[in-house]
Amino acid sequence: MIDTRHLRRPLAGIASLAAASLVLAACSSGDSDTSGSLEDVDPDEVSGEISLLTPIFEGTEGQKLLEDELLPQFYAEYPNVKVSVDYTTYGNLNEKLTTAAVSGQVPDVMLMGVGWIEGFAAKDFLADMSDLGLTQDVLLESYEPTIVEAGMYDGGVYGVPIMLDTRIGIARMDILEEAGYDAPPATWDELIEMSEALTVRNGGTLERAGFDLLSNDSRQVFETFLFSAGGALFNEDNTAPAFNEQPGIDALTLMTELINTYKVEDIGFASTDQAVHPLINGRAAMGLSHNNLWTQAEDVDPEILQHMEPFLITGEQPGMFFGGTFATRSANSSSPEAAQAFLEFLTSPDIALAANEQRGNVPALKELLETEYVESNRFVQFSLENLEYAQREGGPASWLEVRGDFAPAIESALLQQKTPEEALNDLAALVESTLARS
């Protein structure tokens, strides 16, 4: 059950964004020729029926939170706006957005992920909110620069962050201490040495992985190691792959050797769809995990949380991957004022905090660092405290077209069908071909 005692009337609590004086076309529905500030508009005069496409608030608990607790607060502020909600999942979101774009029925407000905004902004489906006063400088007052960048394309602001999800190292300290270690690994060399020492086999059968690589999306695992190696996915202007340069080869080589040389985990020992994460039930001593492992453990075995210690994967530098959910607005909404009001509502501190609590995610707003939710969730707090090291995926407008090619390439190296360099060079050739067509 979400504790909503902290919730206040939403728009009154938009300390960061409302204070930034978002300038919006202060027009009647369907008329975007005049301009003014939303702050100066009487909420009773804002009207329209708008649609929301969301991959968060899914499931019974999420829908209940949005419809029973959050939307009534929005309607109390804006009684003449009606919101229809289209619930989906991230697995179906791209198809939904693409279909909507092709049909011309783009939702007024859309929530989408890191790496998604560039492609839809490039096709002019999204409103550039910097034209409305929501500039990069305004957002930098409330968010870390790397997070603001994830909502931008070609100098414009197309997305406002709601929540982040990170990939961080997690160590089971009770297992480490039994083996004589008093801290998680601080370097790649320590990661290898400790993972080998913590691996348990009974004959040839793996009983405990020293380091679990396989419970997460292989692309995101590779990206975390790539960032820790000092590498990047693309060059600075996102016109060519960079993941197949030496840092990327080193990162995929480490992943490959952890499994095939140091044998700290076997292919098939863990997967992304397992019922209980191996760090929770002790089938792994360390691993790379989504930050929401904390909330998973709270549901399954809360006592185990005292033994879980987050750490950064550190090679040439500390590495942390982040994804997340951003609020965007259609460039062609028939009710732009109502859509903007609802976007502000969704990204306001209290509402964003409630959404993050429901999903066990990391609030994007810096001001939420000292909330009860963050202070009671060590993984979320750790992620926020180390956002300076966080890097994201994506960059080119065609990212959604190529990201699906990463997992097969990485897995071909893990299965030793190709060397890491061959796998990454072949992947780079695919990506270059797609970039050339864009």
Q: Mind listing the pLDDT tens digit of every residue in the chain (438 residues)?
A: 333 333 333 333 333 444 433 334 333 333 333 333 466 678 889 999 999 999 999 899 999 999 999 999 999 999 999 999 999 998 899 899 888 888 888 999 999 999 999 999 999 999 998 877 789 999 999 999 999 999 999 999 999 999 999 999 999 999 999 999 999 999 999 999 999 999 999 999 999 999 999 999 999 999 999 999 999 999 999 999 999 999 999 999 999 999 999 999 999 999 998 989 999 999 999 999 999 999 999 999 999 999 999 999 999 999 999 999 999 999 999 999 999 999 999 999 999 999 999 999 999 998 998 899 999 999 999 999 998 999 999 999 999 999 999 999 999 999 999 999 999 999 999 999 999 987
For the chain, the C-alpha Rg in angstroms (whole number) is 22
**What are the CA-CA distances from residue 79 to residues 206, 327, 332, 338 (Å)?**
60, 22, 23, 11
Q: Report the run of H or E that residue 304 belongs to, with start and end.
A: none
Domain 43-165+323-391 matching CATH 3.40.190.10: the answer reads yes
For 92-146, the DSSP string reads: HHHHHHHHHHHHT---SEEEEETTTHHHHHHTT-B--GGGGT--HHHHHTTS-HH
Q: What is the pLDDT of residue 39?
A: 66
Token pair belonging to 383: 């992620």
List the domain boundaries for the chain. 43-165+323-391, 167-321+395-436
- One fold for both 43-165+323-391 and 167-321+395-436? yes
Asked if residue 323 lies in contact with residue 359, where contact means CB atoms within 8 angstroms, the answer is: no
Q: What is the pLDDT of residue 414?
A: 98
Q: What is the pLDDT of residue 133?
A: 78
Q: Report the run of H or E that residue 372 belongs to, with start and end.
A: helix 372-376
Q: What is the pLDDT of residue 2?
A: 32
Asked if residue 428 lies in contact with residue 243, where contact means CB atoms within 8 angstroms, the answer is: yes
Helix ranges (H only) for 145-262 are: 145-150, 173-178, 188-198, 218-228, 246-260
Token pair belonging to 68: 């029973």
Token pair belonging to 240: 């060519």
Q: Which CATH number fits domain 167-321+395-436: 3.40.50.620, 3.40.190.10, 3.40.50.720, 3.30.1540.20?
A: 3.40.190.10
For 280-292, the DSSP string reads: TTTSBSEEEEETT
| Dihedral sign of CA atoms 95, 363, 359, 310 in order | positive
Q: What is the pLDDT of residue 373?
A: 95
The residue whose two tokens read 């910097």 is 130
Token pair belonging to 96: 């939904």
**Euclidean distance between CA atoms 88 and 413, whole angstroms:** 33
Amino acid at 394: G
Q: What is the pLDDT of residue 42?
A: 87
Asked if residue 179 lies in contact with residue 235, where contact means CB atoms within 8 angstroms, the answer is: no
Q: What is the pLDDT of residue 19?
A: 40
Q: What is the pLDDT of residue 102?
A: 84
